[in-house]
Structure 1
Amino acid sequence: MIVWLNGTHGAGKTTASPLVQELIPDSRVFDAEKVGETLMDIKPGLPPTDNFQHWPPWRSLVVETARQVLDYTGGVLVIPMTVLVEEYWNEISAGLARHSIRVRHFVLHADADSLRKRIAGDTVLGADSPFRLKHLEPYAEAARTWLPTAGEMIDTTHLTPSQTALRIAEAVKR
């Protein structure tokens, strides 16, 4: 099984993912961003883009990497990764379904002011990241349209990371 934590930057995916992993037996965290970083390291580079998710190999490699890891280890993969393009989510989820991999898709949500404050206060990735801030409006659009039907929404605005993780783990166990 895959527990996919979606939502925009500042929603709590990265912080919650190791906490979720601790609560779900036989689980591991898989950072799909590392697949994008690998693709960005190819020389000469792939066609220019502002987001590695636009490269089709990223989407298929995430599916294949998850499949290979689950085939090797079994258990559950917790994947904290923002996907805001519905077509990309459909491609990834269909690829996982072709391998009979069950996906629990959670969308971590917070109001816009909370997201901005969290991004500004991030001491790990840096405050006011232009890359992270520019995703707030595309996230808001996806949250108004396709995300609520594609995943289980969890409003993290007033939750601690531990509370968020507990809600996810409890939902997975049901």
Structure 2
Amino acid sequence: MLLWINGPFGGGKTQTAHELQRRLPGSVLCDPEHVGFGLHRMTPPHLRGDFQDHQAWRQGVYEVLDLVLTRHPGPVIAPMTITEPAYFEETVGRLRERGHDVRHFALLAGRETVLRRLRERAFGRAVQVVAGQGAALRRESFAVSKVDLCLARLSEPQFAEQVWTDDLTMHQVADHIAASAGLALAPNTDGPLRARLRRAWTGVRHIRFD
């Protein structure tokens, strides 16, 4: 089974995906963004743009996930924002046509909630600016510019199941996804402090300096 965790930038996809992996025995996390990172590193800056626009990204994501789903016995988790209907069909749609059990979840929230989360994420990455690395905050600006489009597109029936997260904790979102997919999560034994530290560490691990 594939759990594709969609949502606007800053919507909690990565944190939720890691929480699912932590509490779902036998699961693996396969991040489609890494295929895009590879494409960017292989092309000069003026040719990069949005890697999702490259057929190579869509084909690569499909082939890698098809391979893992075919050969790995446990659940596969893929956190990735994808809002273009045609690109969605080339990845999620093709995997379903291939016969894989794909459960798609769009993590949504009100516009102000998403913007607040993006501001908090940007603040956490601001140290990179001090170090001369402004790319992180430029990515936050890109994310802000896409909020309205993401919320509008991901509310459409094609992108069901929608999960509204304004009043849910990350642990509750993971619980909802697992229950909807018929999967049993291990109990969450984190206290408040440990949960905050775990989220902070996950965020630090996903800071990019290129």
Tell me the TM-score normalised to structure 2 length: 0.74
Question: 4+ residue runs of structure 1 moved beyond 4 angstroms?
Answer: 124-128
Q: Tell me the residue number matched to 1:158.
A: 167
Q: Which structure 2 residue ranges, 5 or more long, are not aligned?
A: 127-135, 184-210
The number of aligned residues is 171
| Counterpart contact for 1:8–1:82, Cα < 8 Å | yes
Q: CA deviation at 1:93?
A: 2.1
Q: Which has the higher helix share?
A: 2
Q: How does 1:20-169 map to 2 (within 5 A)?
A: 20-43=20-43, 45=44, 48-122=47-121, 123-124=124-125, 129-144=140-155, 146=156, 148-169=157-178
Tell me whether 1:11 sits opposite 2:11 in the alignment: yes
Q: Tell me the residue number matched to 2:179.
A: 170
Identical-residue share of aligned pairs (%)? 28
Q: Deviations over 1:2-26 (max 9, x none)?
A: 1000010121101110111233332
Tell me the TM-score normalised to structure 1 length: 0.89
Between the aligned partners of 1:154 and 1:163, the Cα distance in structure 2 is 11
RMSD over aligned CA atoms reads 2.1
After superposing the two structures, state which structure 1 stretch, 15-24 or 32-41, moved more: 15-24
Change (3 A) 1:11 1:42: same
Q: CA deviation at 1:80?
A: 0.6
After superposing the two structures, state which structure 1 stretch, 151-160 or 97-106, moved more: 97-106
Q: Which has the higher contact order (CA 8 A, sep 6+)?
A: 1
Q: CA deviation at 1:149?
A: 3.7
Q: Which structure 1 residue ranges, 5 or more long, are not aligned?
A: none
